[in-house]
């Protein structure tokens, strides 16, 4: 297995020749032909899990029990939160790929330096999937009576101790194509995600599985990326009653201006591995 | 579980045998860089070889393209925004133009067209015929391609970084071309004396330094999984992520050249990494250069694998190696490459900027410097000062402040390092190199063991927890100077759970709710350095839950 795809010297030689020749990628009239929005529309919908999902595991709390496990109640793993009535799937991030310039509505550009709060209490991150735009500041807060450290595996990487009540600012440098993990080392079961993007076309489903993204560009081929931490394959996805397997979670869609497109997305429970 | 360890150790021993044969100069095949399959699996690639056969709907224009002439690429570009390569034997897509039909449909450079609308395509002429002559204009056509991104990544890395024997060429009989590596600031002479098989010239100059001194632990590709690695605790460093623990720079920045020289010269106490002071300085310099080369290569590979695993297109050869040369200006600053596709330049940029990110604290007072050096206060006649003397009281007060910080909320050391500083506060976490294991924590045990076996079959070492340092042992891996310990506390240890501390601006009043002052950090360093000399009166109690979670 470790000898998979050993390099081919001939092919590498050809690549080397291309590098030396500085063969630029075909430019073409790509920029002028790029699609332009004909208006703005809204996408909203619900993401629901169909079938019996795996039971969430109980997390072993091995530190600061008075704060992290008040009353001794078992703490359940929050990597797969499904609404018991209706099956709505929470904490799914839906974001538009590759939109820039004129295809971004002014309401989807956040004010530079504006703050997004990210709090932690009872040894849990209060926002499981947080979203932020590059240029904004993430205000990391510790509302517990004990110290935590917040480790963000993003760009730049961040790992700092926070005293009780302390707030620290974090500024993402670049947008990412998938959320970065956020953890606490002192309480290793704590886990959350941070998704820095370059525009506001991001939504995270609420506990009922509902989401809404406003003012998306209409009339052009949109690519909506779905992301959930426990979901790896999107082969059995059903959208508005029709089977529509998504390659790597990308949903191609085109919307009309001044209209609201509704997506009822159903994911089979078999797509989630046991947790 | 044991069979999997045996299998991986057999594989490692076989690799070691090949390595040994190579060192002895016997006719063994030249060593190769192992692809980072663990990263492919961690990045979520269902097939770690990153090979797939996607089928896309390629929209056709409403009417046939006008461009004629002998070369069909002009017509193809007009109709679909793609070009086929010159190889007549296969229908390989050479390039796609962004936002045009081929790119929007999801076709990428390097794809080999295998079928169109169900009929198989065997070569370029057949593809051209199907795309231009047999197309139903206005109706999309189903195009199936063979995408071997794993193979492409291996070829790209060979094109840019060469082989373990020859960094400057793509094969033993290829023509040497050091200009590319030179354009990124690498010293080719140093790389060449570190790379390759082990031998020495008549003058005594040693060649093959990396294979002679490093590869048996750190591996040929710097993956920290050489033949001896499985027997060591801690494991040797895996350079490929570009993460280094013990350095003088802030946070997740790269180490400076001086940092790596220090590790080679002093070794890492408490680990199997010895001091190489016995080597002449020019050999150590050559090895540092080669480690940087392996790290840049490894990080480039990881970034390419991550993109391919997410289904994104990987950069073309010119894009991958573009963005250079990174020439420092008068102040030593380098311009950051703006194009995300200039991956190698982006990684090299972080190495060049390391010197700007050094943690250089305000020096402690003269008195504190003496305490940190272990000098007890003395009277004017040279006799030790009594416990009531002001000097001794100040020293004890500094220790008391340090102890208060250790148990306080701003530094919060006790929560991981333990109530008795034995490193037993939190032992169930994993470092960066075993994040793949941490992500399995929530799975049922049977599933977890299965996935661990899959990772080990791909070349991963058996996972271990990361244990906080036992501060009573007096062994400091990153160096025992007060400055070293200051840096660990100030900016954390990159790649490990050890966090940075919030530091108040210079001259600010102490405020435990907001952070610590520089002097308070020196007090903490003072306390930490005194711990090996403090008696441990009775063993601390362990929580049962901690024992349950520990992996041997």
Looking at residue B262, the DSSP 8-state letter turns out to be H
**Touching A: B residues 194-223, CB under 8 Å:** none
Q: Does the structure show a pLDDT above 50 at B551?
A: no
Task: Determine whether the interchain pair B411/A23 forms a contact, defined as Cβ–Cβ distance below 8 Å.
Answer: no
Give the total residue count for chain B.
Answer: 552
How close, in Å, is residue A27 to chain B by CA atoms?
7
Nearest in space to B471 (alpha carbons), one of B411, B536, B408: B536
| Interface membership of A134 toward B (CB under 8 Å) | no
pLDDT digits (tens, 9 = 90+) for B262-300: 999 999 999 999 999 999 999 999 999 999 999 999 999
Contacts of B301 (CB under 8 A, 6+ apart): B35, B36, B39, B153, B157, B240
| Interface membership of B465 toward A (CB under 8 Å) | no
Q: For residues B101 and B107, is the Cβ–Cβ distance under 8 A? A: no
CA–CA distances in Å: residue A105 to residues A108, A214, B222, B230, B473: 5, 9, 47, 55, 60
Higher pLDDT among residues B66 and B147, named by residue: B147
pLDDT digits (tens, 9 = 90+) for B216-260: 999 999 999 999 999 999 999 999 999 999 999 999 999 999 999
How close, in Å, is residue A4 to chain B by CA atoms?
7
Which residue has 């000062």 as its token pair?
Answer: B385
How close, in Å, is residue A223 to chain B by CA atoms?
10
- Domains in chain A, please, with CATH? 9-271 (2.60.40.420)
Read off the pLDDT band of B68 (50, 70, 90). low
Q: Which of A54, A154, A163, A272 is most worth mutating to test chain B (most B CB atoms within 10 A of its CB)?
A: A163
**Touching A: B residues 335-354, CB under 8 Å:** none
Backbone angles phi, psi at B461, to 5 degrees: -80, 155
Task: Determine whether the interchain pair A165/B150 forms a contact, defined as Cβ–Cβ distance below 8 Å.
Answer: no
Count other C-beta atoms under 10 Å from residue A256's C-beta.
Answer: 12
Read off the pLDDT band of A28 (50, 70, 90). very low
Confidence (pTM)? 0.91
Q: For residues B113 and B143, is the Cβ–Cβ distance under 8 A? A: yes
Predicted complex ipTM exceeds 0.95: no
User: Which among A15, A64, A79 has CB closest to B442?
Assistant: A79
- For residue A168, the chain B residue with the least C-alpha distance is B502
Contacts of A247 in chain B (CB under 8 A): 54, 106, 311
pLDDT digits (tens, 9 = 90+) for B394-449: 999 999 999 989 988 899 999 999 988 999 999 999 999 999 999 888 788 888 99
Pull the structure tokens for residue A238. Answer: 């059903």
| Interface membership of A147 toward B (CB under 8 Å) | yes
**DSSP state string for B176-214:** P-THHHHHTT--HHHHHHHSSS-EE-TT--EE-HHHHHT
Contacts of B150 in chain A (CB under 8 A): 4-5
H helix or E strand, kind and range, residue B448: helix B445-457
Q: For residues B91 and B84, is the Cβ–Cβ distance under 8 A? A: yes
User: Which among B252, B447, B501 has CB closest to A161?
Assistant: B501
| Interface membership of A188 toward B (CB under 8 Å) | yes
| Interface membership of A30 toward B (CB under 8 Å) | yes
Q: Does the structure show a pLDDT above 80 at B7?
A: no
| Interface membership of B189 toward A (CB under 8 Å) | no
pLDDT score recorded for residue B510: 82
Give the total residue count for chain A.
Answer: 275
Q: Does the structure show a pLDDT above 80 at B386?
A: yes
Q: Does the structure show a pLDDT above 70 at B16?
A: no
């Amino acid at each position: 297995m470790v000898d998979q795809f050993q390099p081919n010297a001939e092919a590498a030689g050809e690549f080397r020749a291309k590098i030396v020749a500085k063969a630029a990628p075909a430019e073409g009239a790509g920029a002028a032909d790029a699609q332009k929005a004909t208006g703005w529309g809204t996408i909203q919908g619900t993401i629901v899990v169909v079938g019996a999902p795996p039971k969430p595991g109980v997390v072993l709390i091995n530190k600061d029990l008075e704060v992290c496990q008040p009353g001794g109640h078992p703490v359940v793993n929050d990597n797969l939160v499904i609404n018991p009535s209706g099956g709505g799937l929470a904490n799914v991030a839906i974001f538009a790929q590759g939109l820039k310039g004129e295809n971004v509505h002014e309401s989807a550009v956040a004010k530079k330096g504006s703050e997004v709060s990210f709090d932690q209490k009872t040894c849990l991150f209060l926002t499981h999937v947080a979203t932020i735009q590059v240029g904004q500041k993430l205000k990391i807060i510790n509302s517990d009576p004990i110290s935590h450290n917040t480790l963000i595996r993003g760009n730049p990487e961040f790992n700092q101790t926070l005293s009780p009540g302390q707030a620290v600012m974090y500024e993402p440098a670049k947008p990412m194509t998938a959320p970065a993990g956020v953890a606490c080392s002192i309480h290793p079961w704590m886990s959350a995600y941070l998704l820095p993007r370059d525009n506001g076309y991001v939504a995270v489903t609420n506990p009922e599985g509902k989401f809404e993204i406003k003012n998306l560009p209409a009339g052009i081929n949109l690519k909506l990326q779905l992301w959930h931490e426990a979901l790896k394959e999107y082969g059995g996805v059903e959208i508005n009653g029709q089977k529509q397997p998504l390659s790597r979670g990308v949903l191609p869609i085109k919307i009309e201006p001044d209209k609201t497109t509704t997506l009822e997305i159903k994911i089979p429970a078999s797509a989630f591995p046991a947790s | 579980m044991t069979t999997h360890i045996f299998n991986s150790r057999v594989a490692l021993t076989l690799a070691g045998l090949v390595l040994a044969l190579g060192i002895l100069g016997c006719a063994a095949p030249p060593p190769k860089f192992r692809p980072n399959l663990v990263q492919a699996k961690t990045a979520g690639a269902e097939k770690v070889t990153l090979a797939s056969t996607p089928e896309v709907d390629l929209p056709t224009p409403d009417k046939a393209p006008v461009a004629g002439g002998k070369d069909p690429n002009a017509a193809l570009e007009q109709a679909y925004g793609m070009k086929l390569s010159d190889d007549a034997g296969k229908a390989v897509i050479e390039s796609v133009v962004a936002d045009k039909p081929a790119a929007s449909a999801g076709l990428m450079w390097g794809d080999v067209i295998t079928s169109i609308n169900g009929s198989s395509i065997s070569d370029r002429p057949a593809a051209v015929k199907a795309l231009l002559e047999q197309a139903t204009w206005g109706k999309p056509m189903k195009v199936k391609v063979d995408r071997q991104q794993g193979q492409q990544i291996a070829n790209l890395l060979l094109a840019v970084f060469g082989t373990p024997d020859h960094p400057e060429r793509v094969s033993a009989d290829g023509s040497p071309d050091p200009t590319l590596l030179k354009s990124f600031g690498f010293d080719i002479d140093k790389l060449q004396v570190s790379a390759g098989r082990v031998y020495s010239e008549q003058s005594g100059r040693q060649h093959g330094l990396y294979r002679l001194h490093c590869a048996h632990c750190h591996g040929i590709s710097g993956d920290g999984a050489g033949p001896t690695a499985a027997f060591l605790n801690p494991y040797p460093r895996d350079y490929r992520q570009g993460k280094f623990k013990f350095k003088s720079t802030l946070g997740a920045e790269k180490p400076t050249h001086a940092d790596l020289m220090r590790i080679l010269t002093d070794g890492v106490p408490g680990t199997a990494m010895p001091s190489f002071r016995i080597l002449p300085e020019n050999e150590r310099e050559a090895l540092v250069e080669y480690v940087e080369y392996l790290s840049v290569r490894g990080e480039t590979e990881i970034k390419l694998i991550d993109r391919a695993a997410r289904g994104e297109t990987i950069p073309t050869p010119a894009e991958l190696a573009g963005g250079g040369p990174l020439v420092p200006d008068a102040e030593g600053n380098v311009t950051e490459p703006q194009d995300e596709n200039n991956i190698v330049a982006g990684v090299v940029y972080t190495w060049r900027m390391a010197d700007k990110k050094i943690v250089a604290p305000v020096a402690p007072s003269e008195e504190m410097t003496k305490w940190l050096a272990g000098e007890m206060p003395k009277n004017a006649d040279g006799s030790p000062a009594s416990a009531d003397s002001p000097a001794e009281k100040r020293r004890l007060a500094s220790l008391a402040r340090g102890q208060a910080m250790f148990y306080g909320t701003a530094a919060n050391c006790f929560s991981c390092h333990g109530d008795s500083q034995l490193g037993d506060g939190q032992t169930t976490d994993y470092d960066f190199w075993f994040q793949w294991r941490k992500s399995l924590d929530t799975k049922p045990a049977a599933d977890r063991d299965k996935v661990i076996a899959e990772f080990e079959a791909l070349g991963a070492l058996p996972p271990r927890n990361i244990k906080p340092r036992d501060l009573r042992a007096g062994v400091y891996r990153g160096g025992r100077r007060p400055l070293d310990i200051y840096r660990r506390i100030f900016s954390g240890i990159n790649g490990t759970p050890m966090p940075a501390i919030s530091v108040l601006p210079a001259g600010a009043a102490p405020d435990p709710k907001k952070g610590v002052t520089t002097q308070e950090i020196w007090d903490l360093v003072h306390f930490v350095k005194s711990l090996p000399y403090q008696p441990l009166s009775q063993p601390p109690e362990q929580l049962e839950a901690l024992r349950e979670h520990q992996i041997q």
